[in-house]
Amino acid sequence: MIKQKINTGYLISLGVSVLLAFLVGAVILLCTGHSPLKAYGAMLSGAFSAPRHVGDVLEYAMVLGLCGLACDLGSRVGIFNVGGEGQLLIGALTAAQVGVALDGASAWVVIPLAAMAAIASAGLYALIPGVLKVKLKVNEVITTIMLNTVAASLCQFMAKGPWKSSNRTLIAATERLNADYWFGGLLRGSKLSTAIFAAAAIAFVVWYVMQKTTPGYEMKLTGQNPRFARFSGLRIDRKIILCMTVSGAMCGLVGMFRVYGAEHLFKPGVSNDYYFEGLMVAMIARYQPLATILLSLFFAVLKIGAEGLQQVGVPNQIYLIIQTVIIFFMAAQGGFLEQLSHSRNLNSIRSSKKGGA
């Protein structure tokens, strides 16, 4: 994994990548007979034209940011959690079911219990690949990918079968939560809920621990130089497993926020590969917490704005293209610049030789 610091060079290449990606998008738009200016204008107004759009942007930024931070947490100690999607679904399902099972109890009881259920189930689900990685050196990327599919199937099974809603029009969904348990909406018509305050608190704690505390420094050491960390007396095995579990628990909480804040029931659509998008944001942000949060705001604007595209007749998937092209450029730029300077060095050596002769 390439780990570089955030500096001016990074900001420049990020800016260039974003610009190039919008250019690529414009070319594709032109090829399919749409005006890029009109489309990008529709995107802007799609994200900002009404308060409810801004609310949706913030809600999605919360999802992306927390998922990205969960990924940061793992990568800091050198474990790559790709299983967030599965952990999110498991957390969402258990949290939803707690709300359904305790229907009638006070919200002060239900919401903490649901959060704990989400944390515990998703954390345990992340514990499996964590333990396998540390104890047996089984590649965590592969196990988490497998466990993603397993989780998706299991959740679908529960939502279609034992925990199915009595509403027959829903094919795979749990019972709708009692409205007392919903997180309060903040902007009329948007998905934004008070969950964002909880999310902000979590994000702050994660940032603080990672950047400002001794355990955070030890995590960094564990990820960058595990042998040195071990010889310095750190229990790196325990750190890796702990970080993986917390990362999973965070994804589980995102699932709970999605259920209690936005959807009010569990269905497989609670997450449409949101974790993968968060992971890509984290990657672009070079696994730095603050940059992850800022970039998730940017990508949320892109995603919600893209919904405004349909009004001018442009398929909104153009946003996926732009997002991934940014990643391609960002991922390639390290190697590209290296080769550029390499060939420049070669050239200067050659010319100096010529000059000397």
- Site stretch for another protein (CB under 8 A), options 50-58, 134-142, 175-183, 215-223: 134-142
- Site stretch for another protein (CB under 8 A), options 118-126, 193-201, 330-338, 342-350: 330-338
Binding status of residue 323 toward another protein by CB under 8 A: yes
| Of 215 and 334, CB closest to another protein | 334
Q: What are the CA-CA distances from residue 205 to residues 66, 92, 198 (Å)?
A: 12, 22, 11
Binding status of residue 153 toward another protein by CB under 8 A: yes
- Closest contact distance (angstroms) between CB of 63 and another protein is 16
Q: Which of residues 47-106 bind another protein (CB under 8 A)?
A: 80, 82
| Of 171 and 201, CB closest to another protein | 171
Number of residues that bind another protein (CB under 8 A): 52
Backbone angles phi, psi at 82, to 5 degrees: -100, -5
Tokens of 200: 């902000």
Residue 300 CA to residue 85 CA, distance in Å, equals: 18
Q: Are 66 and 275 in contact (CB under 8 A)?
A: no
Contacts for 138-144: CB closer than 8 Å, 24+ residues apart: 140/79, 140/80, 140/81, 140/82, 140/244, 141/80, 141/82, 143/83, 144/80, 144/81, 144/82, 144/83, 144/86
Residue 137 CA to residue 134 CA, distance in Å, equals: 6
- Closest contact distance (angstroms) between CB of 214 and another protein is 29
| Of 40 and 319, CB closest to another protein | 319
The single-letter DSSP state of residue 195 is: H
Binding status of residue 20 toward another protein by CB under 8 A: no
Binding status of residue 157 toward another protein by CB under 8 A: yes
Interaction site with another protein (CB under 8 A): 1-2, 28, 32-33, 80, 82, 132, 136-139, 141-143, 145-150, 153-154, 156-157, 160-161, 273, 276-277, 279-280, 283, 315, 317-321, 323-325, 327-328, 331-336, 338-339
